[in-house]
Amino acid sequence: MPTPILDFDALAQAISGCTVLCIGDIMLDEFVYGEVSRISPEAPAPVIAAQRSEIHIGGAGNVARNVAALGARCIFVGLVGEDEAGRQLASTLAEQGAIESVLVCDPSRPTTRKVRFVSEHFSTHMLRADWEQAQPASDTIETKLIEAILPQIARADIVLLSDYAKGVLTARVIRHTIDAARKLGKPVIVDPKSLNWAIYRGATLLTPNRKEFSEATRSRADTPQSIVDASEDVMRLADCEAILVTQGEHGMTLVPRNGEAVHVPAFPVKVRDVSGAGDTVAAALAVSLATGADWDTALRMASAAAAVAVGKQGTASVSAAELKRKILPHAYLAAEEKIVLEPGALDAQLAEWKKQGQRVGFTNGCFDILHPGHVKVLTAARSACDRLIVGLNSDASVRRLKGADRPVQDERARAEVLAALEAVDLVVIFDEDTPIDLITRIKPSALIKGGDYTREQVVGHEVVEAAGGTVVLVDILQGFSTTALVHRARGEGK
């Protein structure tokens, strides 16, 4: 049975009304990018000539960033030290409008900080330096974390525990959180670090990577079936509804307690950096399940989100728009991407194309009922340029030109049909009787019309030729006419 097209817009709308409570180990991620210039004479190690650096919110904080980027609200509870890195994290989180942070400060420990040195040319991580104290929080700090977490659970639709084993998610913090969430009927997702999954007992979903799953279950976990076989006992131990094992380029395997296992292959993608990909997966799962989506939908969202994340440098967040472009078929997005609706969108696209040295072509018409004659002209028009813009008469313009009973299809429907054609790169609706203003604005390299026109009859030929462009006349396909088709459909002629 084929997988149905996901109603992404409806899901995104539902996500925008959800709140995720994210709890875990936050860290400051710094990426230093440069080129390997030589080998150090003091030791046989590469020397990186640093060119730029970027600072990101990492760890569980990156999960929170991804939750917000995907359109949901996030309440984040974490632990920082009384130091510059902690202040920087608090300040950066405060600037995130969709994230409400509740940070507990522990003066006895440093804020976790990681600095990665990356070869710009090869996107290779050469070295990582860590500043951290990977020890459980003290009893006093544990109590402060629990006091910070418990009041937030009722405000959330789902709870996400992001465990990096840096001290926040102690057994006591985990137990209090899961028990309180279950009492209020809130699902709990755990990205686990401990190999003792009994401490996560009662969670809804565990999301280990393959290595973590293999170590926790003492299994090879090298095929979907071996993962299914090894999941039965640990699901009973953890009293969870499902386990999702992420396997990098080998995809993801979901094993529900009730129902069939599902394996989703990874999207084919050029991997630039895997840093934070697991955070993106956890966030996508959380926002999807918060809406009440089923396992299949949540899994598809998570797989697509991971594919977007690994194609970026650094600890990256994934936006709802990026996820939509990855998860939906290209043709499904054609109308959204090709029809110009915003006033500045045309100028921005023209500037980008001209910057790339692309030759822009233009043709126009009513295109009321698209037929093979239209397709031939549009295909030939596209062969005369690198990018083809189609000017489309608005409904009011068509009525003035064709009569009160036209158009048969409204302008949005006509624009969507044109946008679905591979030959068409952009559709611009104009309200005037002729597209002269549009042509003057675009100044195309080629102005294309059907061969039933002469060069002198083509509106805008003077503007185009004065700017160094050309007029191209395409032989029309005989026997096709929109007017004749309309008459035939109405029984007004043969």
List residues with catalytic annotation. Answer: 279
**CA separation for the pair 482, 467 (Å, rounded):** 33
CA angle 88, 92, 97 (to 5 degrees): 160
**Contact present, 241 and 281 (Cβ < 8 Å):** no
Amino acid of residue 457: Q
Judge whether 336 and 426 are in contact, CB under 8 Å. Answer: no
Residue pair 8/148 in contact (Cβ under 8 Å)? The answer is no
Residue of 183, 192, 143, 181 lying closest to 159 (CA atoms): 181
Q: Is 401 helix (H, G, I), strand (E, B) or coil?
A: helix
The rounded distance, in Å, linking the Cα atoms of 438 and 446 is: 14
Which pair of structure tokens corresponds to residue 370? 């698209």
Tokens representing residue 19 in the block: 């709140």
The one-letter amino acid code at 396 reads A
Between CA 305 and CA 376 the distance in angstroms is: 39
Q: Please say whether the beta carbons of 228 and 217 come within 8 A.
A: no
What CA–CA distance (Å, rounded) separates 57 from 39? 32
Yes or no: say if 251 and 269 are a contact pair by the CB < 8 Å rule.
no
